[in-house]
Structure 1
Amino acid sequence: MSEILLALIAGVAAGTLNALGGGGTFVALPALVAVGVPPVTANASSTVALLPGTMASAWVYRRDVTPVGETSTTALTVVSAVGGGLGAVLLLALPAASFDAAVPWLLAFATAVLAFGRRLARAVSDATGRPFGLGSTAVLGGQFLLALYGGYFGGAVGIMMMALWSVGLGLDTAVSNPMRTVQIAAIYLTAAVLFLVASDALNTPWLLVAMLTGAVTGGFTGAHVARRLSARVLRGVILTTAVTMTVLYSVRSWG
């Protein structure tokens, strides 16, 4: 019962974090490993468990979703789904440790971009006299790489996604948060289907159900809370989450 309770609480926390700005995997994955689930299976199980919570958040945000620049929302979602599925295939075929060493650096870079990316983009525009921004093809290419990472590991992929949109398109993090949630759901969907078919994610059904239930609760509640926060406060929450996750994962990887 204590293991199930831990999975439930971790699910609530992870679902809430994902709704507010990302980082839920860094709660869900260690919780499953702590109760004895092998790391690769825990990674797959956490993706399956967090999918319904992310979909619950996306439902709450459905009227707030805005396009990512001039990029087609349909094309962006398809790229996310395809990349997520391919990333899941990589997780099942390759050793997870091969990506572990790069994650702290990716997080640190994404956090810096979130904090200073829009200012940097404006500075480049002022220096060149031309607006700085990524075209649709570049956005879709970047989204595919992030979705691939999201299906493979998923830790803070939403934070990295908003960093890309922030520096590449000048999008405000609070405004892009609903679209981020939709794209995370697309990544998780194809990855989760593959994990259910080809991994050991169902070997611990009660833990999975407990975490899934908590994630739905946290995802639904967290999205409602996020919609009531001012843009400035939500940006602060997202950036604080990014910094915290970068520090915690760096300590975990290098400790």
Structure 2
Amino acid sequence: MSLADLLLLIAAGFAAGGMNALAGGGTFFSFPALLAAGLPPVTANATNAVALWPASLAGAWAARESLRPLGRYLIPLLLAGLCGGLLGGLLLLAGGDSVFALLIPWLLLAATALFAASPWLSRWLAARRAEALHPPHGPLSLGAHVVVSIYGGYFGAGMGILQLAAFSIEGHPLARANALKNLISAVIYSIATVTFVVAGRVSWYELVILLIGATVGGYAGGALGQRLPPIFLRTLVILVGSGMTLYYFWRTYGAP
């Protein structure tokens, strides 16, 4: 690895950790940096997913008290996340670098659109209220969770927004929907991490560098959270996501 790649990954990890602590969207910094450092697309995505794994576990642990009253209600959701995350990871590995490279611009476009629409989506979801502690599971709702989990195991950017929408539409209050999102995200990232590690598609050297940068960036982001205007941060993520999307569309479909 060259010094330029090393500095790029540290900077990308710092930016990703900071943005995740402030506004989300860190994948728009870390994933393209791993590609730019020379990793094949599937390896870059697998390494990025493993880098997000500790944060997902921390989020689930922090939400444990909100989820404790749900008890056995969680079992079908956990199974949906487990099966969907495993299937998404296996699809990524089975499709290989050539298929995933063709999908990268479309996946970045979907993630950018979801991130850009999230304030309006959150306001709409916040207007919904649930009276029941356990909104009933149905084939359509569980099927939607499996589809979102497959997406999460395959790529993951924007997955949290999709999960939040699915849980809120079912009738969960926004706070509980967020706790459920954290739990199922942890399941998806855990099974995807195991899948990628077993398959040998994680680049550990780049992963360690990314995690160091992300840890420092997360601390800096938490410290700056009260000083920087949220609109500035969201705009930055949207601009980066849009730029990356246009670049990868050009690189994949337009470059000679």
TM-based fold match above 0.5 = yes
Shift in alpha-carbon separation, 1:218–1:156, aligned structure 2, 3 A: farther
Q: Establish whether residue 96 from structure 1 lines up as the match of residue 96 from structure 2.
A: no
Q: CA deviation at 1:44?
A: 1.0
| Aligned residue among 94, 112, 120 for 1:115 | 120
For residues 182-205 of structure 1, the C-alpha deviation after alignment (integer angstroms, 9 at most, x for no partner) is: 322211111111111114323xx3
Distance 1:248 1:64 in 2: 40
Distance 2:38 2:90 in 1: 23
Given that 2:50 and 2:193 are in contact with CA atoms closer than 8 Å, whether structure 1 keeps it comes out as: yes
For residues 154-209 of structure 1, the C-alpha deviation after alignment (integer angstroms, 9 at most, x for no partner) is: 1121122223334443643x66434323322211111111111114323xx32211
Distance 2:69 2:239 in 1: 26
Structure 2 unaligned blocks of 5 or more = 130-134, 251-256
Given that 2:60 and 2:186 are in contact with CA atoms closer than 8 Å, whether structure 1 keeps it comes out as: yes
Alignment partner, residue 195 of structure 1: 196
Q: CA deviation at 1:143?
A: 1.4
Given that 1:111 and 1:243 are in contact with CA atoms closer than 8 Å, whether structure 2 keeps it comes out as: yes
Given that 1:65 and 1:176 are in contact with CA atoms closer than 8 Å, whether structure 2 keeps it comes out as: no
Alignment partner, residue 33 of structure 1: 35
Alignment partner, residue 212 of structure 1: 211
Q: Quick one: which amino acid aligns to residue 159 of structure 2? A: V
Please identify, of 109-118 and 40-49, the stretch whose mean Cα deviation from structure 2 is larger. Answer: 109-118
Q: Establish whether residue 45 from structure 1 lines up as the match of residue 54 from structure 2.
A: no
Shift in alpha-carbon separation, 1:177–1:214, aligned structure 2, 3 A: farther
Q: CA deviation at 1:4?
A: 3.2
Q: CA deviation at 1:151?
A: 0.8
Distance 1:152 1:73 in 2: 23
Structure 1 unaligned blocks of 5 or more = 126-133
Task: Name the TM-score, length of structure 2 as normaliser.
Answer: 0.70
Given that 1:50 and 1:215 are in contact with CA atoms closer than 8 Å, whether structure 2 keeps it comes out as: no
SS in 2 for 1:23: coil
Distance 2:75 2:216 in 1: 28
Given that 2:77 and 2:145 are in contact with CA atoms closer than 8 Å, whether structure 1 keeps it comes out as: yes
Task: Name the TM-score, length of structure 1 as normaliser.
Answer: 0.70
Given that 1:52 and 1:215 are in contact with CA atoms closer than 8 Å, whether structure 2 keeps it comes out as: no
Shift in alpha-carbon separation, 1:57–1:217, aligned structure 2, 3 A: farther
Alignment partner, residue 247 of structure 1: 242
SS in 2 for 1:136: coil
Given that 2:12 and 2:30 are in contact with CA atoms closer than 8 Å, whether structure 1 keeps it comes out as: yes
Identical residues among aligned pairs (%): 34
Given that 2:41 and 2:101 are in contact with CA atoms closer than 8 Å, whether structure 1 keeps it comes out as: no
Given that 1:121 and 1:170 are in contact with CA atoms closer than 8 Å, whether structure 2 keeps it comes out as: no
How many residues align structurally? 238
Shift in alpha-carbon separation, 1:165–1:19, aligned structure 2, 3 A: farther
